[in-house]
Chains A and B, each alone.
Chain A
Amino acid sequence: MDKSEIDKIATLARLRVSPAEADEVATRIGGILTLIDQMQSVDTAGVEPLAHPLDAVQRLRADEVTETDRRDELLALAPSSRDGLFLVPKVIE
C-alpha cells in the first residue's frame, strides 16, 4: 500500500496520518497485508461465505414504543449542545 492509498483510506476513515508517521504506518500495514495475503494460498471457489457463526434467523420485535424521553440525561453526555440540539461546525450542502 503506497502513501496515496494510505491517504485515501485514512480520509474514508476520518483519521489523520501525518507525513511524519506515513512511512511507519505504510510499513506496518504492509506487514499486516502480507499476513492477510496468505489467504490467497487456498482455493475457495464454490465455498459459500460465512458472515455469522450462528445458524439462526432474525427475531422480530413487536411494534411497541418502549423508550421514554431521556433527552436531558443523554444530551448532557454531548461535548457540545445547545437548545436541545447537538452542535457541530456549520454543515454545507
Chain B
Amino acid sequence: MLRLNVTELSAELSRGAFSSVELVRACLERIQRRNPSLNAFISICEESALAEAAAADAARAAGDSKPLLGIPLAHKDIFCTRGLATTCGSRMLRDFVPPYDAGVVERLRGAGAVLIGKTNMDEFAMGSSNETSFFGPARNPHDPGRVPGGSSGGSAAAVAGGLCPMATGTDTGGSIRQPASFCGITGFKPSYGRVSRWGMIAFASSLDQAGTLTRSAADAALMMRAMAGLDPRDSTSVDRPVEDYASELERPLRGLRVGVPAPHFAEGLSPGVERGIRAALAELEKAGAELIDIDLPNNHLSVPAYYVVAPAEASANLSRYDGVRYGHRCENPVDLDDLYTRSRSEGFGDEVKRRILVGTYALSAGYYDAYYRKAQRIRRLIRRDFTEAFTKVDVIAGPTSPHVAFPHGAKADPVEMYLEDIFTIAVNLAGLPGISVPAGFEDGLPFGLQIIGPDFGEARLLNVAHQFQQLTDWHRRLPADAAGEAS
C-alpha cells in the first residue's frame, strides 16, 4: 500500500481494497518509524488527518469518486495552513500558526486529499540540499548520508521514502525538480502563473511557483488538475482554462520534436548521468520522437542573473519579518533598531542573511543598473533563447542536475551550491514549465531527466513524461527500504 502511486491508490480505494482511514493510518505509522531518521516532516497532523480520512471514506460511500479523494498528502511547510504551524523551515516562524489557508491548500482539500503533515525544507526555500532548514536537514531515503536535494527536500524524501504518496513543493530555481532527481521521483513545476501563490510564503515573487512531487507523471497530472487555475487573490495567477491533463497522457510520442540543449551536456556533467540521459533520449527516439540539437546561448548567465533577481526580491519579501506583528522577536529590545536587527539576526539563518545582504546590495544606490537592471536584461535574453528554441522543437530535454545526490556537508561554499541549479534556473527566469522524471542510477543513486515545455505547455509535458514512464521503470525503483514495507 505504501509503494503504490496515487493513480493506483485511487483505484484501490474505489475498489474497496482498503479504506482511506487504513491508508492514512499506514502512512502515519510509517512516518513514526522512518521520520526520525529521514527528518522529512516538520509537523504531523495525525488527528485531523484521521478525521479527514474518515470523512473521505464517508463521501466515497455516498458516491463521491474524485481521483484524489482520501489520498494522503503532505504540504511543503511553505504553504500556509489554517490552524497548523507553518514554519518555512525558519526559526523566524517556528511558532507561526496562520489564520488562513494557501490557495493550493484550499484546492487540494477541495479535491478530497487528506493532509497528513508539513514537510521539511531549506529555510525560506533558499538552498539546494535542505541543509539550511532550522529543523535540521532532511535525508535522502536512498542513502541517509546524502542530501535529498532542496529546497523541497522534505517533500521529495517523504514521497520517495514511502511516507506519503504525494506532496506539494515550490520551485524558484529548481527546488522541485532537483530534489525529485536526487530522490528518484517525479517533480513537476508548472508555468509561472498556472498555480496560485496566495498563501505560499514568498521567496522571489517573479520566480516562485508551486508544483508537485509524486511517484509518476500521471499522479502529477491528477494533482495539477486540482491545483491549477485562476485565483483572483493573486494578481499573477492567469485566467486561462485548466486542461484535463490526465486525458492527454496517452498521446503517442511519434513526431515529437525534442530539443537537446548543448549547454546542458557541457563539462561538469557526471559521466554516469550523461550516459543515462543519452539513453533516456534514445528511448524517446525509439518511440518515434525526433532529437534536434539546439543551443541556449545565454544559459551560462542564468545562475549569475538569478543570484541577483532572486535575492533582490527576497530582500524585500523578507522585510516583513520584523518582530512586530508575528514571528520571532528578540528579548527586551532597547529601541526600535535593536528590535529589528536582533529579531531578524536571531530569526534568520546564515544563508537567508547572505541572500538578503546580496539582494540589498544589488538594489542599493549606485549598483541598481549594474546588477538588478542588468540581470533583468539577461532575463530577457534567456527567455528569448527559449522562445527561439520552441519555434523548432516541442519540448527540450536534458539532465535535471549535473550529478546524483551529494553527501551532507559536501558543498560548504555557497557558490558551489548555487551552481547545482545550472540546468534548472533558466526555466524559472523564463517562467516555463519543467518536469524531472527518474531516468537511471549512478552508484545506486537516482538521477532525473528534465523536460522543459513552452509557456503553458503543461499538458504536453505531462504527456511526454508519462509516455517515458511507459517505456521505462526507473520511477518504480523506490529505495529498498520503501520497497520492503508491507503493502
Contact = CB atoms under 8 A, between A and B. Distances in A.
A61 B315 CA distance: 28
Interface of B is mostly: helix
Given A32-B415, A51-B206, A59-B232, A38 B301 contact: yes
Interface string A61-93: 100000000100110011110000010111100
Given A13-B360, A47-B380, A78-B324, A39 B305 contact: yes
Nearest to B371: A36
A78 B339 contact: no
B344 A38 contact: no
Contact of B376 (A14, A51, A89): A51
A9 B301 contact: no
Contacts of B322: 14
Interface in A31-56: 31-42, 44, 47-54, 56
Interface string A8-42: 01101111110000000100110111111111111
A42 B232 contact: no
B399 to A, nearest CB: 21
A31 B303 CA distance: 13
Contact of A49 (B304, B341, B376): B376
Nearest to A1: B361
A9 B333 contact: no
Interface in B306-358: 307-308, 315, 319, 322-329, 333-342, 344-345, 348, 353-354, 356-358
B414 A50 contact: no
B76 to A, nearest CB: 21
Nearest to B192: A53
Contacts of A15: 341, 344-345, 348, 353, 356-357
A19 to B, nearest CB: 14
A86 B193 contact: no
User: Could you say which interface size class chain A belongs to?
Assistant: 35 or more
A44 B357 CA distance: 25
Nearest to A80: B329
Contacts of B53: none
Contacts of B376: 49-51
A32 B414 contact: yes
A36 B371 CA distance: 8
B380 A89 contact: no
Contact of A40 (B319, B374, B415): B374
Nearest to A70: B99
Given A14-B337, A47-B377, A39 B301 contact: yes
Contact of B304 (A36, A52, A80): A36
Nearest to B412: A28
Contacts of A58: 235
B403 interface: no
A79 to B, nearest CB: 4
Interface of A: 1, 5-6, 9-10, 12-17, 25, 28-29, 31-42, 44, 47-54, 56, 58-59, 61, 70, 73-74, 77-80, 86, 88-91
30 contacts: A9-B357, A14-B319, A14-B341, A15-B344, A15-B353, A16-B341, A16-B342, A28-B354, A29-B357, A32-B358, A32-B418, A38-B304, A40-B374, A44-B381, A47-B378, A50-B376, A53-B431, A54-B193, A59-B235, A70-B99, A73-B99, A77-B96, A77-B99, A77-B326, A79-B328, A86-B325, A89-B336, A89-B338, A89-B339, A91-B336
Which 5 interchain pairs have the tightest Cβ spacing? A53-B431, A49-B376, A79-B329, A44-B377, A50-B380
Given A32-B415, A59-B235, 7 more contacts: A13-B357, A34-B415, A39-B305, A39-B378, A41-B301, A77-B96, A79-B328
